Structure 1
Amino acid sequence: MEWNRLISDKRLGLEHYHDDKGGVRSDFERDYDRLVFSSPFRRLQNKTQVFPLPGSIFVHNRLTHSMEVACVGKSLAGEVALRLRKKYAAEPWADRLRDIAEIVAAACLAHDLGNPPFGHSGEKTIGAYFSEGAGMALRQHFTAEQWTDLTHFEGNANSFRTLVHQFNGRRPGGFAMTYSTLATIVKYPYPSAQAGPDGKFGFFTTEQPIFERIATELGILELEPGRYCRHPLVYLLEAADDICYQIMDIEDGHKLRIIDTDETIGLLLAFVDDDRQQHMRRVMETVADPNEKIAYLRSSIVGLLVQQCAMAFVDNEQLIMQGRFNGCLIDHIEPLARSGYRRCA
């Protein structure tokens, strides 16, 4: 794959119409803004992240989670872009790498749009409705592939559908997002028929031709018929999501008094070596509020993980561009930080 093809401002549904508006916003920033003002994005405020919405104690819901993932994703992608621009400084397209941060931020903002209430439990409930509930009566109206989509309902695929499907009364192309932003939200670039044991897939049968059109335009490698490798920026979205849900869940658990302060401090300090731990403890001694102590540690660890994931991406760029990279970026960070991350699971 090649960066000069992977970064494209072509818009779905508006392929033959491109108005160069100029101004201060790039097309990818317009993607981000379009999402912020959309109804599906606002609806995320009523979907829980991990803990039930408890009222006076403000823990994360899907809306705040998505906003934080977008912030972390933008920082992470910015670090990667800085390194790649130095590496490819002699290339005529090197300046286009600046757009990586905005693409990832927009994709992060959209990554949970299709998740049902109650997360994976909601997915299983929808699937069960069709596989063993009243929905079984509808089987005759669907192809075998479409039925598999329903009985193995996947929030990731529904996110892609939410963005690209022409719903009744709407314009072609759905949100009319850029090809690069759309490709970056597809963590599992294959249909339900090719899902692995985890049941994950990235698009429903009805949207498969749209994804294939995007993949062809961007030069995303097809590993076997119907199964593609990821757009490289998916790894940055995934890392931002991994960082946020793991670290923020610990902070939420502390706020809800599920985890006490000493245990929370121990979990977060485990990411760093003894010298860094001593420095962090000295800083915490200047803060009386336990929640602020944890907030300080959380921000420090998020920053650490951003730097290490950026290095992991750049170090493995060749494998990623060839579609041969295994695992996620978190799997490739330094052993101490990786061990700390796993302790938080």
Structure 2
Amino acid sequence: MNWKQLLSAKRWGYESRHTDDQHEARSEFQRDYDRLIFSSPFRRLQNKTQVFPLPGSVFVHNRLTHSLEVASVGRSLGRIFYNEMRRSFPMIDSELPYLQEVGNIVSAACLSHDLGNPAFGHSGEAAISSYFTDGDGRAFKERVSPEEWADLTHFEGNANALRILTHGFTGKDAHGFALTYSTLGAIVKYPCAAIDGHDGRVHHRKKYGFFQPERPTFEKIARELGLLSESGRQLGYKRHPLVYLVEAADDICYNIIDLEDAHRLGILTYEQVEDLLLPICGGDPLKARLETLGDSDSRISLLRAKAINTLIVACAQAFMQHQDAILSGRFEKPLMEALARELVDGMRAIEQVSVEKIYNAQSVVQIEVAGYKVMNGLLEEFIPSYLKEGKTKYDRKLLALMPKQFHTDQPGTYGKVRSVLDFVSGMTDLYAVELYRKIKGISFPSLD
């Protein structure tokens, strides 16, 4: 792979349109970022769970604040990489004029990396999948292809993000968000179909990156950007190199920020958080400064800032160091595992505590259990009604609750099921709960 082809300002669906940034206030890649910021799917992230239940009196991160922070870190990673390239190759701007936009490309991809995640965090993905593996959805297995069944039984937020950004929903732009090819390529962490994913031996096959309807879409993106194909796969590619920076930005943020939220909620003590973050920040030199701060929140804010800065610099350097292996498709692990031993050990310690203390905290488990009930309940209602040939009055009333954009005239079972999944996966936590309660007769709409 080469940067000249990997960095493309062509827009999905508008490939023939000429792009000239010279006299524009924003570059094409900055336009990508702005389109995402002002979009409805992005705004809905403010009411989607990150890890902890949405805040009452104590603020914790939601998907929107997390995505903004990841985008900020991603921009820094891209900018550091560009500065290092310019330092090593002074004429790089004339040879690769779009390289200076790497920070903007990465930040836009970071902004959209969770766009396809359903309500209730990762448990929402599992809940949708369980409808087909353990619930009424098992009846559809014989009515879809093996590739389509793999999609349904492993709902994947990463693949859903690509669909949201490129699919022409009814009444909407036929080309989705019409983002640049480079931004689209940078969001696909696992460039394969579901039937070829979930391979724990290969990092970029751990999950999958596109549903069957978006298979031609990603194949076109891969050809345009010159992604390396893999032999022995129905449709598999090596990652776009900038995916590694997007992934690193996400890894940095959720590992560090989850500790800060856990402290705010009283799950971890200040001493526990300090013991985890101080080694990443350089240890003793920071101790004296921490002692000058009067409250634990301020101390943790300083630790968080120093830890994130340390990891940004280290990951950008690792990306530069392993650039040749990444471009040739030989780099088979996340950047976080290519850092200095003390940083790798420090991050593993954080992951261990996060699993033991944070992700199994009572409030987190409660929202996961509730998410299963709500998501499964919605699918149990909408999918049979949508698929039924002779619809009852109830079916028609129920389906009137689905916005027009999610209706399809496709004749097959998979296409209709996918339309319902588009509707349900786009819901916020609060909307999903309210709709579930109303259609189950648990509560009634307000007459105000």
- TM over 0.5, shorter chain: yes
- Matched residues in 1 for 2:16 and 2:37: separation? 26
Compared with structure 1, are the counterparts of its residues 16 and 94 closer, same or farther at alpha carbon in structure 2 (3 Å cutoff)? Answer: closer
164-173 vs 322-331, which deviates more?
164-173
Give, in angstroms, the shift of residue 120 of structure 1. Answer: 2.3
CA contact (8 A) 1:76 1:236 kept: yes
Give, in angstroms, the shift of residue 236 of structure 1. Answer: 0.1
Are residues 1:291 and 2:297 paired?
A: yes
After superposition, residues 34-183 of structure 1 pair within 5 angstroms as 34-91=35-92, 92-139=94-141, 141-183=143-185
CA contact (8 A) 1:85 1:97 kept: no
User: RMSD value over aligned CA atoms?
Assistant: 1.5
Compared with structure 1, are the counterparts of its residues 28 and 55 closer, same or farther at alpha carbon in structure 2 (3 Å cutoff)? Answer: same
After superposition, residues 1-345 of structure 1 pair within 5 angstroms as 1-18=1-18, 20=20, 22-91=23-92, 92-139=94-141, 141-197=143-199, 200-224=207-231, 225=233, 226-272=235-281, 276-345=282-351
Deviation string, structure 1 residues 289-324 (Cα, Å, up to 9, x no partner): 210100001000100000000110000000000000
Give, in angstroms, the shift of residue 152 of structure 1. Answer: 1.1
- Matched residues in 2 for 1:64 and 1:129: separation? 30
Q: Provide the secondary structure at the position in 1 that maps to 2:230.
A: strand
133-142 vs 178-187, which deviates more?
133-142
Q: Provide the secondary structure at the position in 2 that maps to 1:98.
A: helix
CA contact (8 A) 2:81 2:316 kept: yes
The one-letter code of the counterpart of 1:88 is F
- Matched residues in 2 for 1:195 and 1:326: separation? 15
- Matched residues in 2 for 1:74 and 1:145: separation? 36
Structure 1 stretches of 4+ moved >6 Å:
none
CA contact (8 A) 1:85 1:94 kept: no
142-151 vs 73-82, which deviates more?
142-151
Deviation string, structure 1 residues 96-145 (Cα, Å, up to 9, x no partner): 21110000000000000001112221111111112332223444553321
Compared with structure 1, are the counterparts of its residues 332 and 188 closer, same or farther at alpha carbon in structure 2 (3 Å cutoff)? Answer: same
Q: Provide the secondary structure at the position in 1 that maps to 2:161.
A: helix
The one-letter code of the counterpart of 1:172 is A
- Matched residues in 1 for 2:279 and 2:89: separation? 36
Compared with structure 1, are the counterparts of its residues 283 and 219 closer, same or farther at alpha carbon in structure 2 (3 Å cutoff)? Answer: same
The one-letter code of the counterpart of 2:334 is C
TM-score normalised to structure 1 length: 0.95
The one-letter code of the counterpart of 2:223 is T
The one-letter code of the counterpart of 2:321 is D
- Matched residues in 1 for 2:278 and 2:36: separation? 36
Give, in angstroms, the shift of residue 212 of structure 1. Answer: 0.8
CA contact (8 A) 1:103 1:180 kept: yes
Give, in angstroms, the shift of residue 330 of structure 1. Answer: 0.5
- Matched residues in 2 for 1:241 and 1:286: separation? 31
CA contact (8 A) 1:88 1:94 kept: no
CA contact (8 A) 1:73 1:237 kept: yes
Rg (Cα) greater in structure: 2
- Matched residues in 1 for 2:142 and 2:10: separation? 38
Deviation string, structure 1 residues 244-277 (Cα, Å, up to 9, x no partner): 00000001111111111111111111224xxx42
Give, in angstroms, the shift of residue 32 of structure 1. Answer: 0.4
Give identity over the alignment, percent. Answer: 49
- Matched residues in 1 for 2:174 and 2:30: separation? 21
- Matched residues in 1 for 2:153 and 2:291: separation? 53
The one-letter code of the counterpart of 2:89 is Y
Q: Provide the secondary structure at the position in 2 that maps to 1:171.
A: coil
Q: Provide the secondary structure at the position in 1 that maps to 2:159.
A: helix
- Matched residues in 1 for 2:309 and 2:146: separation? 46
- Matched residues in 2 for 1:15 and 1:197: separation? 34
- Matched residues in 2 for 1:15 and 1:95: separation? 19
Q: Provide the secondary structure at the position in 2 that maps to 1:223.
A: coil
- Matched residues in 2 for 1:254 and 1:335: separation? 26
- Matched residues in 1 for 2:349 and 2:279: separation? 8
- Matched residues in 2 for 1:238 and 1:145: separation? 26
Q: Provide the secondary structure at the position in 2 that maps to 1:245.
A: helix
Give, in angstroms, the shift of residue 148 of structure 1. Answer: 1.4
- Matched residues in 2 for 1:122 and 1:216: separation? 33
- Number of residue-to-residue matches in the alignment: 342
The one-letter code of the counterpart of 2:181 is Y
184-193 vs 218-227, which deviates more?
218-227
